[in-house]
Structure 1
Amino acid sequence: MTTQTSLVKKLMSGSLVLQILVGIIAGIALAAVSTQAALSVAFLGSLFVSALKAVAPVLVFVLVASSIANQKKGEHTNVRPILLLYVIGTFSSALVAVTLSFLFPTTLALTAPEAAMAPPGGIVEVLNTLLFKVVDNPINAILTGNFIGILAWAVALGLALHKAADSTKQMFHDVSESVTLIVKMVIRFAPLGIFGLVANTIAETGFDALADYGRLLAVLLSAMLIIALAVNPLIVFVKTGKNPYPLVFMCLRESGVTAFFTRSSAANVPVNLGLCDRLKLHEDTYSVSIPLGATINMAGAAITITVLTLAAVNTVGVEVDIWTALLLSIVAAVSACGASGVAGGSLLLIPLACSLFGISNDVAMQVVAVGFIIGVVQDSAETALNSSTDVVFTAAACNQTEVPK
């Protein structure tokens, strides 16, 4: 009994990336050996997707409400220029992701009823749907997975609680931490769920599905590289008028690499604080901007939300015009700022963006599951971009681009 308990603890505390990779390989192998056996484990994938559908609405609601309610008055005044850079960088990331998705459209192997695939007529219908979703009953919004309504009520409640007693704010913070813990528990079962999803997908569609995943991953990583090596340096150059690349390369090397393997912006905060100290930045500034950036500066998350949403849009045959794409960029940028700090947290916000196009929660959660399949690489690259950008923009706001020798 003790041996079994010890094995379970090792599995639960082991590398999630490695376990997901094992799940992917096992799913491919099972589908290659026996189609019938692969179809028989499909319930594992369905169970995992259902668990995500259950926890995601509650997570978004309490996370956003708690974040706004617990924001300290005057906290933003010392880091206003950095906040502006965070906003510009995140929105630019969504725009780059939209552009690449238009240039290299991707589709996914999804299963959904035809009724779930009714596309909107254009930007006017999208905005009309958006307005009615905003004023939805909050309980109904959570029950039906109306993420636009959930976000609206979370923001409103957070603002209303901003002047509440500290004990009330602490209660919301504790609830947020508790829900995040539940999400972590659900995500620990991702390897089993992905094993079932991969086996079932390949059994039903063949190995062509893997090519779709590879193309999707290529678009994601290309967008992240463009932001890291072109857009961020341009923003720094405009801000400082100096060569940005020594700073950019140093941040990628000393912050991005560690973030790539930890897959947690929060866990990388001490690394970033130490790097800011080496760069001799103002401590009063970076001691606020770095923890704040680990929460709201989510360029990689904006890319993930945008690319996967447009992949879902292409799959269900929705036509997207330039104005709707711009609206998606705004929604993705705002949503990214509320991404959970857990591995794969940005994926749980994809249904919010998908709801703009009338895509059902059932279909959206299948896209989330696809995100977990490619998350072995995607989430690591996303975190590396998010975390290294925190230092890049903090240094730029301090007009510091020289690096120590």
Structure 2
Amino acid sequence: MDPSVPALLIKVGHYPLHHGAVGVVRTLGRLGVPVHVIAEGRLTSAALSRHRSGRTVWPTTGAEPAERLVRGLREIASSLSGRAVAVATDDEAAILLAEHADALSEHLILPPVPRDLPRLLASKHEMFRLCRRYDIPAPESRLVTSRDQIDEIVREFVFPVVIKNSEPWVRLAAPAVNRSTVVGTPEELRELATGWPAAPYALVQEYLPRPESTDWIAHVCCDGQGDVVAAFTGVKVRSWPPHVGVTTYAYSVDNPELAALTARLCKESGYSGIADLDWRLDHRDGRYKLLDFNPRVGAQFRLFETEAGIDVVRAHYLTLTGQAVPPGRQVEGRRIIVENLDVPARIAYRREAVREYRIPEGGRREFAWLAADDPLPGLVTAVRSARPMMRRVVTRILGGRSQHG
């Protein structure tokens, strides 16, 4: 491949310890691509990678006015040597790039995704509506924009239910919940709703019981026609926080049915670029149901690779620079471990029976942070995450003891 075109790692949320960003820098930098990093500070994980070619310290939260963010991105991108391939690592960045492509494409190479599509897909409510339009299975969902709707929700849904912030931008300014939350009874929902803002933009979603379901993930890269040029599927075993957070342990399993379902959604919606989808196989009816569509690179994307050494970020780079993506099958049995997060996740899951598929043989372990040729990101992450992670573990252990007497 020709690695001469630079790449710009773009995130506008505040995530100083982001293993997905480190993965992007490593996977492109190891091929000789000049990777420039936008970071919250000089000591963030991606900024310290030896594989990055440059860095710009630009602390943002994602809540800034779009005009300010676009102006800052233009200034950063214009300082690079030629137009750069843009790689978004959070929803806010993906939405910003799509909605302001006209202003940014002078300096950035962007996928030709429809302007409004990333915002629709990142919205839990709008994603559900798109699933209904394209006949994609998804848990039944309802948008709540007023506390007055609670009685209707109680009548319509069987409890427990899941409560989510419907829009990624609202979760920053006025979140209804800190993260996806399982609510067991109507009384718990009413109590939770008392703390909501007047217009909460919360999503009430059908609960799919964990003992009767399996979590799957799909990562894809699509070209300008919405056709998949790289597709991967795998099983999510653990996450942190448990069941609602980032993947901490997963393994790759080829799943043609799920890959075809993912490809159909991308094609019919006209999606272009990298995407990370969370699915849940409901064993009660045998259907894969879409929980989340993230219109950007997923943090655990290095779990997946083809026999030709292609992951979704490399496929994205090749596609946007007009180079062919080498054909190759998904490598079976690869595993990813997010070292700092999987320790508390193991503790949290220790009482649960997790339904697992047989891990195919031949795959290697991929660590999110540890790398012999790039040690600094892992060292900094270990130091910065040790104390807060220990607090979370102790809190969860003590909380579990109190619940069990």
Q: TM-score range by the shorter chain?
A: under 0.3
Instruction: Determine which structure has the larger strand proportion and give its number.
Output: 2
Q: TM-score, normalised to structure 1's length?
A: 0.24
Bigger RCO (CA 8 Å, 6+ sep): 1
